[in-house]
Structure 1
Amino acid sequence: MTRRIDVIATDDAPACPRCGGESLLYARAPHTWTNTAGEPVNGYTGVVLCPECDASTPHAAPLITWFHVNGQADEEDEGFVSLLVAWATSIFVPTLDEQALDDEIDRWRRDL
């Protein structure tokens, strides 16, 4: 099954949610989880390419190096496009941690 990863063209990619540092790219990746009724819930989540957090990730490292050497992305550059596709297809969206979600909901309700 092919997933559609949307790479968002922006000069202002969001900060990395892991370290808070500046990211190089922003993409939206599809995900699905099953709700308590047993039905699939489809959605998208944002993913960033972080030069710090992703530096040792196999498909991210070459793309990070490309940015360090070349600076701005150019969709006409076949090397860049190849690295971008490799990174985008390797994006992994973890399974929903329902306990963490319930804990966050409880904290939010207590703060009301």
Structure 2
Amino acid sequence: MTDGGGSNLPLIAAVVADAEQKCHRCQGGLYLSAEVPAVGMPGWQRITLCPVCDANDPASQDLIAFFAIHSVVDEQTNDTFTRLVYDWLTAKRPQGVSPEKFEEDIAAWQQGLYDA
């Protein structure tokens, strides 16, 4: 496997499927989590696959659909699962927050919209 960016660097990832894991965004159950090399900096980053929060993420949709159909990965579905996980891991993800989104969040915070 390579990093998907045309280089020959290996893709190293620790992928975990654990029904007890909770999504950091909605606190619902996760399908998967993975520790992957951080982009543009040393170290690792954790990415998660939540069927609720990632439902509209194009990079996640095929893998979410796989889990909706298959409750387990077996010999017959292993190749498909491996390809879908690879595609999910190597998908380009936004890094950081756009200046526009940052300003929107500041304005919402100042209006008290984030108060519980």
Give the TM-score taking structure 2 as reference length.
Answer: 0.62
Amino acid in structure 1 at the alignment position of 2:79: E
Counterpart of 2:30?
A: 23
The CA deviation string for residues 16-44 of structure 1, in whole angstroms up to 9 with x for no partner, is 111111100010121156xxxxxxx5111
Tell me, in whole angstroms, the C-alpha distance in 1 between the residues paired with 2:72 and 2:15: 14
For the residue of structure 2 that corresponds to 1:42, the secondary structure is coil
Q: State how 1:11-90 maps to structure 2 within 5 Å.
A: 11-12=18-19, 14-31=21-38, 41-74=41-74, 77-90=78-91
What is the Cα deviation at residue 45 of structure 1?
1.6
Which has the higher mean CA deviation after the structures are superposed, 46-55 or 71-80?
Answer: 71-80
What is the percentage of aligned positions where both structures have the same residue?
29
1: CA distance, partners of 2:78 / 2:28: 27
Aligned residues: 91
CA contact (8 A) 2:18 2:30 kept: no
More strand by share: 1
Offset at 1:10? Answer: 4.0
Per the normalisation by structure 1, the TM-score is 0.64
- Deviations 1:12-71 (Å, cap 9, x if unpaired)? 4631111111100010121156xxxxxxx5111211100001111112111101001001
Q: Is the 8 A contact 2:13 2:37 kept in 1?
A: no
Give 5+ residue unaligned stretches, structure 2: 1-6, 98-116
Unaligned 5+ segments in structure 1 are 34-40, 97-112
The Cα of 1:91 is off from its aligned counterpart by 5.5
3-state secondary structure, aligned to 1:67: helix
Higher-RCO chain (CA-CA 8 Å, sequence separation at least 6): 1
Equivalent residues of 1:74, 1:80 under 8 A apart = no
